[in-house]
Copies of this chain bind each other. A is one copy, B any other.
Amino acid sequence: MTALETGAGERVERWLEEGRRWSDAELGKAAEAFEGPGSDLADAMRHALLGGGKRLRPSLVKLFCEAAGGDSQAACAPAVAIEMIHTYSLVHDDLPCMDDDDMRRGLPTIHRKWDEATAVLAGDALLTEAFGVLSGCSQADVLCSILAQAAGLAGMVGGQALDLQVELDSLPEEKRLEAVELVHATKTAAMFSAACELGWVAGGGLGEGREASRAYGFELGMLFQATDDMIDVTGTADGLGKTPGKDAELSRPTLVAALGLEGARERAGERASAAREAADAVGLAEGHPANDLVGLLLARTH
């Protein structure tokens, strides 16, 4: 069962596949340039960066770069940078002192394949090199500022910390949704938001479109995280490429924990509507991948 009509479903799958290929190629080029004084660290970085994944964030960078009228070439560096940041966050998130995951994207995590120190340092290096990559762009100052804000204390890292800190059970029921959505906004949506904004700016886009691009990315990120929480309950290890059921096991603040599965599904629907409105404000018509993607993410709740 899917919330997408068949044409849209095929279209967005094709778009995703193209985006994944483009992203993989760009990431591969970037990873070739990894050169350090030892060999293990660069290998571990490549293992994490080139180990597959949906490549949603870099694909969004490209999509909004082109929506702003830019060439896909202008999207390469910010796309690589944002996927490096996303990848480092997974590497650190998988550490024994955090989620303690053995598998990621169907492969052993770095701390399982190498060791914890290598995982910490490979994450640090990917994070650092992301800004190195961005520093070569025109408007590097604006792009670095967007990425640092989204990835830093007020964004992704702050959200990761909050995620570990929030004890949903100790909050009154009416406060739980707010607490969960603050985690989602900072941990996940900030980076989706940045992906779209980076693309828009790198593509030469100006004015209101920039804010609307941010808004689209934000709502899409909230939708993505909502369905991610649902899939952790309903999914399988094969489909996820990681161990399912960890969230509940670790009493994590998820939308399902706050609202139940049905409530989470409704909330996801609201986010989908908001994302579609934002896409409209950017000037992206029905049938544009940005709209199809909303349907696809919503459909994965079923």
Please report A residues at the B interface, Cβ cutoff 8 Å: 34-38, 40-42, 45, 88-89, 92, 95, 97-98, 115-118, 120-121, 123-125, 127-129, 131-132, 134-137, 140-142, 144-145, 147-149, 151-154, 157-162, 164-166, 182-183, 185-186
Contacts and interface: CB of A to CB of B under 8 A. Distances in A.
A160 B40 contact: no
A157 B128 contact: yes
B41 A153 contact: yes
B35 A121 contact: no
A137 B148 CA distance: 14
A117 B164 CA distance: 8
B127 A158 contact: no
Nearest to A34: B153
Nearest to A89: B124
A178 to B, nearest CB: 11
Contacts of A164: 117
Contacts of A134: 144
A161 B123 CA distance: 12
Main secondary structure of the interface of A (DSSP, over half): helix
Contacts of A161: 36-38, 40-41, 117-118, 121, 125
Contact of A144 (B92, B144, B160, B165): B144
Contacts of A125: 152-153, 157-158, 161
B38 A162 contact: yes
A183 B41 CA distance: 14
Given A95-B120, A120-B92, A182-B37, A132 B149 contact: yes
B92 A153 contact: no
A260 to B, nearest CB: 24
A264 B134 CA distance: 40
A128 B127 contact: yes
A141 to B, nearest CB: 4
B162 A148 contact: no
Nearest to A187: B37
A117 B98 contact: yes
Contact of A153 (B45, B140, B185, B186): B45
A159 to B, nearest CB: 6
A99 to B, nearest CB: 10
Contacts of A152: 125, 128-129, 132
B153 A131 contact: no
A134 B132 CA distance: 12
Given A125-B157, A128-B148, A132-B144, 13 more contacts: A36-B161, A37-B186, A41-B157, A42-B153, A45-B153, A98-B117, A132-B148, A132-B152, A135-B141, A135-B144, A135-B145, A140-B140, A141-B141
